[in-house]
Amino acid sequence: MPNCEHDTSMTDLTTPAQHFTNRLATEASPYLLQHAENPVEWYPWGEEAISRAKAEDKPILLSIGYSACHWCHVMAHECFDNVKIAGLMNQDFINVKVDREERPDLDDIYQKSAQVFLGRSGGWPLTMFLTPDQEPFYGGTYFPPTPRYNLPGFPDVLRGVLEAYRHHRDDVLKNVEKVKTGLQRVGTPQPSDDPLTDGLLDEAVKSLGQFFDPVHGGFGEGPKFPTVPPLSLLLRQTARTKDASHQEQVLLQLRTMAAGGIYDHLGGGFHRYSVDGRWLVPHFEKMLYDNAQLVRIYLDAWRLTKEERFREVVEETLEYVRRELTHPDGAFFAAQDADSEGHEGSYFVWEPKEIASVLGADMAEEFCRYYGVTESGNFEGKNVLNRLGEVHPESDAQAEVETMLRAARLKLLTAREQRMALQRDDNILTSWNAMMVSAYLDAYHAFGVPAYLAAAERALTFLLDYAIENGRVYRTVRAGKGRLNGYLDDAACLAAALLDAFEATSHRWYLDQAREVTDHLLVRYWDEPIGGCFYTSRDHEALLHRMKSGTDSAIPSGNAVVAMVLLRLFSFTKEQRYHDLAERLFRVFRHAMAHNAYGTSAILCALDWYLATPQEIVVVGTRGDTMTESLLSTVHRRYLPNHSVLVVESARRGGESDLPLAIGKTSVNGKPTAYVCQRQTCSPPVTDHDQLDLVL
């Protein structure tokens, strides 16, 4: 896909004097509201649109996107604001807009349908044509107003689709059946009796290695996405096999990304993806879910290496989230837009003269040298800041140079904040929020910063107050009210965050809540007798197909998160049902794990836990006590991919005694004491952090 230069030559865009309002004006979704003044007669997804399509025998034009999506903005400007194109749409189609953040169930079904027509993965905006029975028969992604980029013009697409629907209905029905067959195949996996062994992990890692870029890191040639589960799987493989080459692959990618333009060197946080293979020029939107996952993999890298740059990336990213994506009540907003002033990336890029005007000539010259800033630029004549060049200060001057660069970055950030502000997607999505809660808690474990724990607990309290009611998890919160039936990943990620909060605080209530959320999840989403979880609940609206998948999207698959939650609950409670359900889940997705390592990396990580001998670490002591915290820090600063931690408060032993891990664990000579257990066999108790380090 080329960089966007808006072509308005085709015709008759709306003039400022014209004003339109459609049905989206009463919706809550930020994305739908962006289209409320299109001349297109949009409907939100629902019975009204479907009934009209049936009554008038018109195809449904389904357009799916999200608020921060750059190419969604482009197509809206070029096509949906165009009165002539809107006229074609309104005359012959029932037009439906969907926010994929609110309705990932629809997005999943129709993205997989699009692959049949495209022969590749889809993307956003997603443009699908459906029968009145919601059955897809043709589709694509972005379409320009006139033919370009080797794509047909959207008016030609509309005419062609209408011709097929009216006069070649047999061909339309053949396409429908082809899609239904594909959805049945990918969305209804069957359990396998083949063994669950380490060989699955070995073959998966071997497969990943075949398309890992040994020069820049990442998978493939470009564009490159900062997808985290495959990296986590590679790190786990090193821990399991002691083959350091896998670890080095991950560290290469993380170092390169931290130096590249995909990382915001002034404001912190990662952009959505890199359009090139070097991680240099990003697609500029910033997503909450990306940054939540990247914080955790950079924490793992820091635990392995103690490299200061990895710590800086974590701290700067969390500061970005605090500054730009945090709701006054503690929850987290979904995203920050790529576009400002009508152009992608304008907010983030620089010319040398702009830098000189802020820093002064001498400091600017030094800054530009270190951050790859040139007169010719690296992005549409301007510069994406990066440190991919081989410019390093002399060792004896390194501290001084880095101090100067830090001061320069702060000045430039202050100047950047005077530019036109980026639009923010203020959706509060349960799963994404829960992922960021887990990221903050992980950072608290590693660095011991109380503010990280406070931020996590505020956000988690918000979710428990507004995003769950009588066991039902909602997808999103708007104006203090839970909205839309939640999906598998919403419930699963919330359960995972609650378990993380339990480990971070020892508050038993968090564990009880995690069990309650999980048990409700199993009632509403579990497929009995096959195994595994559907993406939608039992009481969800009937759609074209009820999908069940172990394949990751931009976030880990809901089934992968469920598997890990079940295994962690088994570790704490020793309730065999949790372990048995996890095993059944793995068997459902065994075939997928064996044939799509990249797409099932998250569930393969959970399988690694299942096949390993997890360390169950019990610390008997008082939270806040110096020696207790020293023992906990020893655990949390190590890379231990398969472990659980339980703190047994000395002062209230009786309140914890019903947890199997706690039984029989006592302090030695009144000192905080640690036990490391595997398969119900525990190490001798230790009271010193050096001793504990040797046992781990």
Tens-digit pLDDT profile for residues 23-52 = 999 999 999 999 999 999 999 999 999 999
In the three-class reduction of DSSP (H, G, I as helix; E, B as strand; rest coil), residue 671 is classed as: strand
Site of tokens 């008016």: 155
User: Which tens digits make up the pLDDT trace of 566-615?
Assistant: 999 999 999 999 999 999 999 999 999 999 999 999 999 999 999 999 99
Cis before 223 (ω within 30): yes
Confidence of residue 237 (pLDDT cuts 50, 70, 90): very high
Nearest by Cα to 143 from 10, 326, 310: 10
Q: So what's the pLDDT on residue 14?
A: 41
Confidence of residue 655 (pLDDT cuts 50, 70, 90): very low
Mean pLDDT of 207-230: 96
- With 80 as the cut, is the pLDDT of residue 17 above it? no
C-alpha dihedral, 504 to 505 to 510 to 511, nearest 10°: 70
Alpha carbons 244 and 253: distance in angstroms, whole number: 15
Measured at the alpha carbon of residue 237, what is the angle toward residues 236 and 240, in degrees to the nearest 5?
Answer: 85
Alpha carbons 401 and 405: distance in angstroms, whole number: 6
Confidence of residue 184 (pLDDT cuts 50, 70, 90): very high
Q: What is the 8-class DSSP label of residue 80?
A: I
C-alpha distances in angstroms, 30 versus 25, 98, 102, 147, 427?
10, 11, 10, 30, 7
Mean pLDDT of 126-151: 96
Structure tokens, 191 = 């359990």
Beta bridge partners of 540: none
Cis before 125 (ω within 30): yes
- With 50 as the cut, is the pLDDT of residue 488 above it? yes
User: Which tens digits make up the pLDDT trace of 510-558?
Assistant: 999 999 999 999 999 999 999 999 999 999 999 999 999 999 999 999 9
- With 90 as the cut, is the pLDDT of residue 503 above it? yes
Phi, psi of 147 (to 5 degrees): -60, 125
User: Which tens digits make up the pLDDT trace of 279-321?
Assistant: 999 999 999 999 999 999 999 999 999 999 999 999 999 999 9
Structure tokens, 294 = 């990247």
- With 50 as the cut, is the pLDDT of residue 372 above it? yes
Q: What is the 8-class DSSP label of residue 76?
A: I
Q: So what's the pLDDT on residue 8?
A: 29
User: Which tens digits make up the pLDDT trace of 241-272?
Assistant: 999 999 999 999 999 999 999 999 999 999 99
Buried b or exposed e, range 113-140, using 16+ CB within 10 angstroms: bbebbeeeebbbbbbbbbbbebbbbbbb
Measured at the alpha carbon of residue 592, what is the angle toward residues 588 and 597, in degrees to the nearest 5?
Answer: 135
- With 90 as the cut, is the pLDDT of residue 6 above it? no
| 468 half-sphere exposure, CB direction, 13 A CA radius | 26
Stated pTM of the model:
0.95
Phi, psi of 126 (to 5 degrees): -95, 130
Q: So what's the pLDDT on residue 155?
A: 98
Mean pLDDT of 155-168: 97
Alpha carbons 173 and 560: distance in angstroms, whole number: 35
Alpha carbons 605 and 599: distance in angstroms, whole number: 12
**Left if phi > 0, otherwise alpha if psi is -120 to 50, otherwise beta: which for 562?**
alpha
Contact 615, 646 (CB under 8 A): no
Nearest by Cα to 124 from 170, 208, 68: 68
Q: So what's the pLDDT on residue 657?
A: 55
Nearest by Cα to 44 from 55, 56, 31: 31
List the beta strands (DSSP E) in 40-176: 42-44, 60-65, 94-99, 126-130, 136-140
Residues 6 or more apart whose Cβ sits within 8 Å of residue 367: 355, 359, 373, 405, 408, 412
Within 10 Å of residue 223's Cβ, how many Cβ atoms?
Answer: 16
Alpha carbons 384 and 574: distance in angstroms, whole number: 52
Structure tokens, 548 = 């069940």
- With 50 as the cut, is the pLDDT of residue 10 above it? no
| 205 half-sphere exposure, CB direction, 13 A CA radius | 25
**Left if phi > 0, otherwise alpha if psi is -120 to 50, otherwise beta: which for 682?**
beta
- Give me the sign of the Cα torsion angle 589, 99, 154, 337: negative
Beta bridge partners of 476: 429, 483
Nearest by Cα to 106 from 54, 29, 7, 38: 29
User: Which tens digits make up the pLDDT trace of 429-469?
Assistant: 999 999 999 999 999 999 999 999 999 999 999 999 999 99
Contact 83, 145 (CB under 8 A): no
Q: How far apart are the first and last CA of the chain?
A: 49
Alpha carbons 351 and 368: distance in angstroms, whole number: 10
Mean pLDDT of 210-216: 96
In the three-class reduction of DSSP (H, G, I as helix; E, B as strand; rest coil), residue 686 is classed as: strand
Alpha carbons 594 and 189: distance in angstroms, whole number: 13
- With 70 as the cut, is the pLDDT of residue 1 above it? no
Beta bridge partners of 620: 648, 673
Structure tokens, 323 = 């500054």
| 544 half-sphere exposure, CB direction, 13 A CA radius | 27
Q: So what's the pLDDT on residue 691?
A: 94
Within 10 Å of residue 29's Cβ, how many Cβ atoms?
Answer: 24
Residues 6 or more apart whose Cβ sits within 8 Å of residue 268: 313, 316, 317, 318, 319, 320
Helices (H), 487-612: 488-505, 508-525, 558-573, 576-588, 590-595, 601-611
Mean pLDDT of 410-428: 96
Alpha carbons 534 and 525: distance in angstroms, whole number: 5
Nearest by Cα to 258 from 302, 220, 211: 302
Residue 593: what residue type?
A: M
Structure tokens, 9 = 């030559």
Strand 60-65 to 126-130 pairing = antiparallel
Residue 62: what residue type?
A: L
Specify burial of residue 256 (Cβ count, 10 A radius: 0-12, 13-18, 19+).
buried
Q: So what's the pLDDT on residue 305?
A: 98
- With 90 as the cut, is the pLDDT of residue 118 above it? no
Contact 79, 143 (CB under 8 A): yes
Beta bridge partners of 383: 350
% of the chain at pLDDT higher than 70: 97
Residues 6 or more apart whose Cβ sits within 8 Å of residue 513: 464, 498
Mean pLDDT of 346-369: 97
List the beta strands (DSSP E) in 629-668: 643-649
% of the chain at pLDDT higher than 90: 91
- With 90 as the cut, is the pLDDT of residue 3 above it? no
Alpha carbons 249 and 270: distance in angstroms, whole number: 20
- With 50 as the cut, is the pLDDT of residue 149 above it? yes
In the three-class reduction of DSSP (H, G, I as helix; E, B as strand; rest coil), residue 151 is classed as: strand
Nearest by Cα to 650 from 690, 686, 618, 689: 618
Q: So what's the pLDDT on residue 668?
A: 95
Q: So what's the pLDDT on residue 57?
A: 97
Confidence of residue 652 (pLDDT cuts 50, 70, 90): low
- With 70 as the cut, is the pLDDT of residue 2 above it? no
